[in-house]
Chain A
Amino acid sequence: MGIEVGIAAIKALIVILMVLSLAGVLGWIERKGSALIQDRIGANRASIFGVAAAGLVNTLMADPLKFLTKEDILPVRADRLLHTLAPCVNLFPVIVAFAAIPFGDAITIGERTVQLQAIPLNVGMLYVLAMMSLGVYGVVLGGWASNDRLSLLGGIRGSAQMISYEIGMGLSIVAMVMTFGTLDLQEMVRAQGHLIGGWLPAWGILYQPLAFLIFLCTGIAESKRVPFDLPEGESELVSGYFTEYSGIKYLMFFMTDFAEVAVVAGLVTTLFFGGWQVPYLMTDGFHFPGGGALLVPRLLVVLLQVAAFMVKVLLFCWLQILMRWTLPRLRYDQLMRFGWKGLLPLSLANVLATATVVLAIGGPA
């Protein structure tokens, strides 16, 4: 009984550390990556004894210290409780959402089987969706609690955008659920392990390319990143719904942004790109389609799978960062039109088509 609690606590700790460190590293990747894209050097002024470490000291040590020691400004006539609550309510669901995402196969220690997934839930997919739909509260409260016209406008725009794109996201996930026949994320990843035609790994994107595109668009819209970042409108609304925040609260809003990038990347990997599956890697080693096999000890297999998961997640984080510095921003009415008149009918049609195919085949793939 105690061991079970201990294992669960360790897994939860691993996930929290993973998300928080990803959020921090993504801040650095964003600054240096955008500098590379825009042909400039980026942040490199802060250094310890002359060692600047390519901006790591600046982004990972100097900036957080600056944010933590800044004065906490409370606007006049703002509701103090709500103003303090908003960044916490924004951050909490996003970190917790990562808990249902599996980062490895089940491993056996002694005589106990441990799932490499913080919460082995039967309805894992719905859990992630639920946590992401709780993210609206941070935006709504942040806008309202600042007692300021521009923040309120940013808050209303942001929450309207989030609930509009939640529907498209839900429907594209429904198509994936129909394809795999389960809501359990670990089962979905396992189902992407076999090979089609003997040589092609059965990853989700081969079954549902349209759902992948829709999910990517809606995921980025949910985290309010460019090209959907009008609520944050850096050149229009100052900072939108978190204009009136400084210090730690601002840091928490920013961390939510990057943590959500990580969650969307994790979901895309799990649903469409095989999660922790490495092509041709079975439980006991590589089995190539030609017939060759390379036996690998179990521990190495597990390590390879976890590493594959991390590489894929980082790849999709980089993709979102790339998109931020490449695409122009959508105007608000274009944004809403795209969500309601573009993505929603598309995802509905996708669900219909998937249902027809699943019925014709006689069961999920």
Chain B
Amino acid sequence: MIVLGLGLLVMLMILSLAGVVVVGGIDLAGLNLGHVVFALQASLMILSALGVIVNRSPIRSALSLVVTLFLLAVMFVSLDAHLVAMLQVIVYAGAIMVLFLFVIMLLNLHEDRPAMVRPGVRGFAGFVGTLFFLGAVHFVMHPLGAAPGAATVPAGFGTIEQLAEQLFTRSLLAFEVTSILLLVAIVGAVVLAKRKLA
């Protein structure tokens, strides 16, 4: 388990380092600050994501996931998506993960037993993972369609006014359906977790 994680980590760090060196250039005019911050965020995020799948105790996995989600929200802010970043903290890190923690505490789950998997599952999973990753990198480096570049974003991008305009005009049907979905989920969760349907 640990060996798999470490191997994955080393491969990923080397690749991300290569990416930064190729694209970053030697730019000393303060523009590199954005790249440095990104590199820091990215490596922390990868470390905590690995913490999710590597930790034996489910509570520590959950906490690693909270850290990942929070770092992701920070990255959203740097991507000019302020509202989505706040929603990420409120909804994901502040509510969904609290639900996870509650369930873990309710079921009183301490450390997992050492995984009793059939032999070869881990190797297979590592192989599939590497395949995913290399495939994704290939398509990133050689995109199928034209990738228009963009230097700056229009003013007010990512603010709540623009998101609301999009949400309530072009995505109105999806919005209404999602609200019904949430209602169904609430009723379903309460019924499923009840002890007796009396």
A-side interface residues toward B, CB under 8 Å?
1, 79, 81-82, 85, 121-123, 126-127, 129-131, 133-134, 136-137, 140-141, 144, 152, 156, 159, 163, 183
Contacts and interface: CB of A to CB of B under 8 A. Distances in A.
A144 B86 contact: no
Contacts of A141: 63
Interface string B85-112: 0110110011100100110010000000
Given A126-B83, A126-B86, A127-B86, A133 B105 contact: no
A131 B85 CA distance: 12
A126 B90 contact: yes
Given A121-B82, A137-B66, 19 more contacts: A1-B30, A79-B57, A79-B59, A85-B63, A122-B159, A126-B87, A127-B86, A130-B86, A130-B94, A133-B94, A134-B89, A134-B93, A137-B98, A140-B98, A140-B101, A141-B63, A144-B59, A156-B105, A163-B95
A136 B83 contact: no
Interface in B46-66: 57, 59-60, 63, 66
B147 to A, nearest CB: 28
Contacts of A82: 59-60, 63
A1 B32 CA distance: 13
B105 A144 contact: yes
Contacts of A122: 82, 159-160
Nearest to A1: B30
Interface residues of B, number: 21
Contacts of B66: 137
Instruction: Give the one of B59, B89, B94, B101 with max A CB within 10 A.
Output: B94
A152 B101 CA distance: 13
A159 B102 contact: yes
B160 A123 contact: yes
Contacts of B90: 126, 129-130, 133
25 contacts: A1-B30, A79-B57, A81-B60, A82-B59, A82-B60, A85-B63, A122-B82, A122-B159, A123-B82, A123-B160, A126-B90, A130-B94, A133-B89, A134-B94, A136-B94, A136-B98, A137-B66, A137-B101, A140-B98, A140-B101, A144-B105, A152-B105, A156-B102, A159-B98, A159-B102
Contacts of A134: 89, 93-94
A74 to B, nearest CB: 17
Contact of A123 (B63, B83, B95, B105): B83
B40 to A, nearest CB: 16
B66 to A, nearest CB: 7
B106 to A, nearest CB: 9
Contacts of B60: 81-82
A133 B95 contact: yes
A138 to B, nearest CB: 11
Contacts of A156: 102, 105
A129 B89 CA distance: 9
Instruction: Give the one of A1, A140, A159 with max B CB within 10 A.
Output: A140
A159 B97 CA distance: 13
Nearest to B66: A137
Contacts of A136: 94, 98
Contacts of B160: 122-123, 183
5 closest pairs, A vs B, by CB? Answer: A133-B94, A130-B89, A126-B86, A130-B90, A122-B159
A137 B57 CA distance: 17
A150 B22 CA distance: 56
A123 B86 contact: yes
Given A134-B89, A134-B93, A163-B95, A140 B82 contact: no
A82 B87 CA distance: 26
Interface string B115-149: 00000000000000000000000000000000000
Nearest to B29: A1
A152 B95 CA distance: 19
A136 B89 CA distance: 12
B190 to A, nearest CB: 13
Instruction: Give the one of A79, A129, A131, A137 with max B CB within 10 A.
Output: A137
Nearest to A126: B86
A163 B98 contact: yes
Contacts of A133: 89-90, 94-95
Nearest to A122: B159
Nearest to B163: A123
B163 to A, nearest CB: 10
A125 to B, nearest CB: 9
Contacts of B105: 140, 144, 152, 156
Contacts of B87: 126
A79 B109 CA distance: 13
A156 B103 CA distance: 11
